[in-house]
Structure 1
Amino acid sequence: MSTSKSQFGIQYVDTGSALHALNGITKFIVFISWVTIVLTTFDLRIILSMVAIGLALLAVSRVPFSVYRPLLIGAVVMLSLNALFMFLLAPRQGDIYIGSQHILLSLPGDYSLSAETLFYLVTVTLKYFSMFPIALLFVFTTHPTEFAASLNKLGVPYKIAYAVSLTLRYLPEVKNDFVNIMHAQQARGIELSKKAPLFERLKNSAKILIPLLFSSLDRATDISNAMTLRGFGQHKTRTWYSQKPLTQTDWLWIGIMLLLTIAAIAKRILDNELFWYPFY
């Protein structure tokens, strides 16, 4: 994909940045460590730091902002809806976790919004969002074949490693199929733009997802048949054209992330309170 074209997509984008030069295994360990750290904490200070670092790393990757802007917007919208439903289902969850209640907005029943519940919803929403930039970074900077070769070198069976490679390669194809099906449905008069009410758009989205599912199954069958005809899986081992060794920089990244992960787990064990709340 040419970096000069600013288009939406979820796929490897070669910009030649320092992050692209890292080994695929290094980026995978960074991703897993990152997710582990996020899952072990409800400390808003740590979460905000990880959001800032994740967005900064996306900028360092030099992937055009227009490529992932729709993804960020979609993530914000979905997480905002998630926070709304969390409040509707458990309006006093923040009060219970934090152990106090200071009402900001009086509403009927249990739905009065407190400072504690608002803080809880913001913390959880940012917690989920903080994993999103690093996930995008992994996909944008990791060549699928090179990553599969690295996994195989670590002892992962090459069939599984190759399946991971195919999954990463398949992401942009899913996007292309989605766009083509959406355009076909719009040509048939199905309204999916902002002109239609929200619930009508959600209902019409099912008319995209079902054909997309069958299209994906057909494509998977074609890929399986092609691999069988080429004799894939007949041998116990295989060689990789894109395999590359771990460098000192890779080991430095791995060491730093492992230390941070251990520190995060230790902090979670030693902390007396689940949430960091500065407004008692």
Structure 2
Amino acid sequence: MSASVINAYSKQYGHEVHAAYQRMGTKLRNTVRVRNDVKGAIAVFQKVGKGSAATKARHGKVPVMNVDHGTVECQLYDYYAGDWLDKLDDLKIEHNERQVLTNAGAYALGRKTDELIIAELDKSTNYALDGSSGLTKAKVLEAFEKLGEADVPDDGERYAVVGWKQWSELMDIEEFSSSDYVGADDLPWKGTQAKKWLGTLWMPHSGLTKSGTTRYCYWYHKTAIGHACGAEVKTEITYQGDRAAWFINNFMSQGSALIDPVGIVSLRCLEP
């Protein structure tokens, strides 16, 4: 067998690892502000403040808004997920072990992507009520008010991520789960564990931080969190003769940063 056959393996499984990463690895990347193809170790996100309008005297000068401009830096880190496949073991098993390791690496990197985003969400101190109760209708409405008072855009790019316990609590809220309120097309009972409610896409997530009996859930706008990517998820397969084994290596370079704390409301929920 030609040694160059590994190039074909790398291309084939490289495509598959990226597809697996997008399909089942990360749930949150598409819900935040993303910068791709970053050159260097730090990505810079621009942050622009609000302008204000004013009148002017006849023939006077137009008032200047002096809109505040700032930047938020996002450090990129390199992550790897690799494993060995012994050449003779590959001959003894019926399933495609390379595919198994490819998917496992993609899912691991996808979870890492969500961990980076969740770590930045955890920095939010804009709380709706406290963590002494579960995810109640009152807590949801309190968060809804906070977003509105902060002029967070209601433009279809709001997201809410909750734990599975909180998802079950939402199912007990009639306005969330009854077709009388949301219509038949947006019912959460139809197989897809994500739904639109209050102009927001709600979804459950198993990786949210839990401290003691408190689960950290969030309602946020897409522009409040930044995710930077220097290298997309890729795979590389090499044969190591001294080990008589293939090494299947999946890797990426990514980071995340909190851009605008005002655009995030933290829903601290009791979860015994």
For the aligned pair, the TM-score class normalised by the smaller chain equals under 0.3
Structure having the higher helix fraction is: 1
Which structure's residues are more often strand, by fraction? 2
TM-score norm. by structure 2 comes to: 0.26
